[in-house]
Amino acid sequence: MQTVERFLKYIAVHTTSDPNSETSPSSPIQFKLANLLAEELKELGLSDVYVDDACYVYANIPATPGMEEIPPLGFIAHMDTSPDACGENVRPQIIRDYPGGDIVLTGTGDLLSPKAFPTLDKLIGMTLITTDGTTLLGADDKAGVAEIITACEHVLAGNKPHGKICIAFTPDEEIGAGVDHFDLERFGAKYAYTVDGGEEGELAFETFNAASAVVEITGLSVHPGSAKDTMVNAALLAMEFNSLLPAGDIPRLTEGYEGFFHLNDMTGSIEHASLSYIIRDHDHATFEARKAMMFHAAKVLNEKYGQEFVKVTIKDSYYNMREKIEPYMFLIDNAKKAIEAAGMTPFIYAVRGGTDGCRLSYMGLPTPNLCTGGFAFHGRFEHIAVESMDRCTQMVEHLMCDIR
């Protein structure tokens, strides 16, 4: 089966994760794809295929005779799609020999345009798969799933020698819980790659350091007619707190290695206000400084108003995996060789986010991230080229068999 056939089959399965759930998986619908993948892996002839109670899929291809001493190499992709956009009833559009220019998303009439997405110009002449504008597409990361499984099919059908190949598909990556219940022992790899990146050729071993912050503000309400020097308006205090953070350090105004504070939710009244932030930075020292800045802002306001009205709680989410990958840079060198062997040009990309590989690397499994070929993840303008998926499949196959 071709990679594109698998991809179209997988995106038809609804697997949106739920950030408000406390179960694992966060949405039971993810089991449908997990079980489908497990059956497919069994049919292809993979060994030890298993779906656990938390919706993780594991399988492997044993080493060919004489190659048992090669360290087992793993490949990982996630099955869930982002809750940022609808992932149900995906109706893909296929544009063959894309001529360039605007693409009409037939479900809404919206335009997928090179003006907003200039990388479309790189895809001229290819076969594109887009959404119809009513949902996301699901290339993040069902393209990675399809590429890994198709590479496995090619390996099993061929006669190239290889070491043990370990496969895992995870739930809930999109809500930061993708490796909460990952079984390293069952997986069995010494090194691994996630196949969860973007544009073809992309190779990542740097991610953000990440934390979440909640600012709780307690106000003091009295009648506004007699509020002089007494009322403390929590909603206004919340606005004042945000004004103490650098105005230019927000996602809209940052790129590359520039970090940010992102206010992603707020509520407020006179008596109570709450602000929810995420904090991101590639540099660990700057990351710590950003957290300290939030605590300092609370201190300034509490001293100004003479009471502890503002409380900040910060929880680290994940850390830049670079320091865990640097002792194993042969993984990056091998990935570059595989990318080139598949007809792509490798480039290093510092992920402005995180991957399952972040936490896996800190759990003792060095796990850089490879490209899938997709663009504009998490939204209605998501798209991918068939030819890119084919090259990414070849990249995975080269790593499985040809490069050590």
Q: Where in the sequence numbering do the catalytic residues fall?
A: 80, 173
The separation between CA 210 and the C-alpha centre of its own chain, rounded to angstroms, equals: 13
| 313 dihedral zone (left: phi>0; alpha: psi -120 to 50; beta) | beta
The values of phi and psi at residue 55, to 5°, are 80, 25
Distance CA 88, CA 303 (A): 50
Whether omega for the bond prior to residue 316 falls within 30 degrees of 0, making it cis, is: no
Burial (Cβ within 10 Å: 0-12, 13-18, ≥19) of residue 201: buried
Contact 392, 148 (CB under 8 A): no
Q: The tokens of 175 are what? A: 């809500």
Distance CA 247, CA 299 (A): 19
Enumerate helices (H) and strands (E) in the chain, giving the number of each: 10, 18
Contact 25, 53 (CB under 8 A): no
- Amino acid (one-letter) located at 16: T
The separation between CA 197 and the C-alpha centre of its own chain, rounded to angstroms, equals: 8
Q: Which stretches does DSSP call E strand in 227-309? A: 260-268, 272-281
